[in-house]
Each structure stands twice: as structure tokens, then as C-alpha cells.
Amino acid sequence: MSSNGYKPKVAVFKFASCDGCQLSLLDCEDELLAVAAAIEICYFPEATRKVVKGPYDIALVEGSVTTHHDAQRIQQVRRSAKTLITIGACATAGGVQALRNWQDSAEMVRTVYAKPDFISTLKMSTPIAEHVPVDFELRGCPVQKYHLIELITATLIGRKPNIPAYSVCMECKRNGNLCIAVAQGEPCLGPVTQAGCGALCPAFNRGCYGCFGPMESANAEALTGVMLRNGSTKDEIQRNFRTYNAWAWQFRQASEEVEKR
């Protein structure tokens, strides 16, 4: 909130997504009131029916572009917002729905829907940044609520948000987890995945699923070698890389390259 009482105008837009990231925002409970007091929420259908016209100071965008209509709408959103922030794996990497990018989507539509003529969809699910310039991409499936608060707070006062881009392993070790990749040979995407979840899965004896997408210098090729040596099959490795962030180029490339090894 600036000293003259002006409250930055914030809008939340949804594209192809499950709403989980917007729910993370609502899940901020204690902090939500403080955030809400500092900003004017102009458009957030999940939370309020109120609609205030743009332009907006901050647009939070959830979801990927999967239809012609989406592709047009994101242009409007970009024009209406000073700062555009994507939230979550769908908006940032195309989401789990980007699995269709390796399939014949027209055929899938024919198989699934009784009246396919009513379905108008693009061949691919693509991240927002493939369509318009994005000011910040907040990772996660879903995003971490404390990241959201940090991001909004930092943006409001004009400082760089403190959101590390290093690996999940850093959090895993700081938290004192035992490395299940080394101690059990489990496939774990932690070394190539950006921190943010607090190494949740390794704490529960599961390999990291890669919810936060590729870390800053993800060496997915080397990790593929590690997983093969630890006994994962090529199929399993491909499935490991093809989840919520399947279309992020580092994971995409690894999932395609593993077939050739």
C-alpha cells in the first residue's frame, strides 16, 4: 500500500487448469486478510463476484492455453496488466494436460466425446510465456502459498521476490531427510527440480515428482543415466519426466532422449 492510500489493482485469471493454485491463494488464511487489505482485488471469480475493469497493476494467471479462445484472451489479459505473473505448472509449463502434445488430439476428442463437433481445441497445451511476455513465473503444482505471499508482498514494494531456483535436494538435506536415491536406489527428480515444496515427498520416502519444474541448471540427461544405473526402465523414466511439467523443455527433452539410450 503506498503512502497516498492507493491500493494496487490485482486480477486473477484462469485458463486450462484445476484451480488448485487459486485455491492456494485462498488457503493463505491468516495472511489473506493482510494481503487483501493492501490491494484491491478487481477480478477473482473464485473468490468474489465483484468485477472492476482494468488496467490492473498485477495479473495473476493460472492455467495453460489450450483453445483458440484462450489464445486470444491471454493477449487481452497482457494488454490490461502492468505486471503479469503466471502461477503454477499449467501456466508456466503447460501442465499435465500438455501430455496431449505427444498425441493426436483430434483422435482423442473423437474417442472421448459423443459429439466431437462441439469441441474446439488446439493441438497443444502451451505455457503462457509462449504467447505473451511474462514478468515472473511462480512454479509448483500447486504453488506454495508462502511463495505467493512473498511474491505479492515483494511486487507491491518493488523488491525482488526471494524464491530460490536451486534444487529440491538443498531443502531435502537442510530438513535432514535421508536421500532415498542413494540409500534405496529410488528414482527421485529432486536433483533436477526447483525447490519450493520443502522436499515433501522424500520426507515421506517417495521420490520427488518434479512438481516445481526444472531447477536453474537442470541436468536431466545426467539424472537419466543415474536412474538407469539404479535400475529404472526407460519407460519408467519417461513417465517420471512426463507429469505436471512434462512440456518444460529440460524435462521434455529428457523424456524424448531416454528412448534413444
Partner 1 sequence: MKKQAVRFDDTGLTCLIELLRGEGYEVIGPRKSGPAVRLARIESAADLTPGIDSETSPGRYRMAGAPDARIFGAGPAAESPKRYLHAPEARLAVAERENGAFRIIRDTPAAPKTALFGIRPCDVAGIARLDRVLLRDRYKDPDYEARREQTFIVAANCVRSSETCFCASMETGPRAASGFDIALTESVNGRREYLAEAGSTKGAAMLAQIKAEPAAADFVKASHAQCEAASAQQTRSVDYRRARKVILRNFEHRRWDAVGKRCLACGNCTMSCPTCFCVNTKDSSSPDLSHAERRRLWDSCFTQAFSYIHGGSVRTSTKSRYRQWLSHKLAHWQDQFGETGCVGCGRCITWCPAGIDITEEFAALDSSSQS
Name the residues that contact ligand SF4, by CB under 6 A: 168-169, 172-173, 177, 179-181, 188, 190-191, 199, 202, 208
Rounded to a whole number of angstroms, the minimum distance from the CB of residue 44 to ligand SF4 is 34
Q: Does 248 contact partner 1 by CB under 8 A?
A: no
Q: Which stretch binds partner 1 (CB under 8 A): 15-23, 121-129, 217-225, 250-258?
A: 217-225
CA atoms within 13 A on the CB side of 192: 28
Pick one of ligand SF4, partner 1, none as the site partner of residue 174 (Cβ within 5 to 8 A by kind): partner 1
d(CA 16, CA 44): 16
**Pick from ligand SF4, partner 1, none: which does 199 bind, CB < 5 to 8 A by kind?**
ligand SF4
Measured from the CB of residue 254, what is the shortest distance to partner 1 in angstroms? 12
Judged by CB under 8 A, the residue of 2, 72, 75, 184 near partner 1 is 184
CA 94 centroid distance within chain: 8
Q: Look-up: residue for cell 541436468? A: 219
- Contact between 239 and partner 1 by CB under 8 A: the answer reads no
The contacts of residue 149 (CB under 8 Å, 6+ apart) are 28, 31, 35
Enter the DSSP assignment of 66: -
219 is a contact residue toward partner 1 (CB under 8 A): yes
**Beta strand extents in the chain (DSSP E only):** 9-14, 40-43, 56-62, 81-87, 136-138
Residue nearest ligand SF4 (C-beta atom)? 190
Q: Contact with partner 1 (CB under 8 A): which of 85, 181, 248, 258?
A: 181
* Shorter beta-carbon distance to partner 1: residue 37 or 112: 37
Rule CB under 8 A: say whether 8 interacts with partner 1.
no
**Cβ 52 vs Cβ 171: under 8 Å:** no
Amino acid at 113: Y
What does DSSP assign to residue 237? H
Alpha-carbon span 57 to 80, nearest angstrom: 9
Asked if 34 touches partner 1 (CB under 8 A), the answer is yes
Among 191, 196, 202, 214, binds partner 1 (CB under 8 A): 191
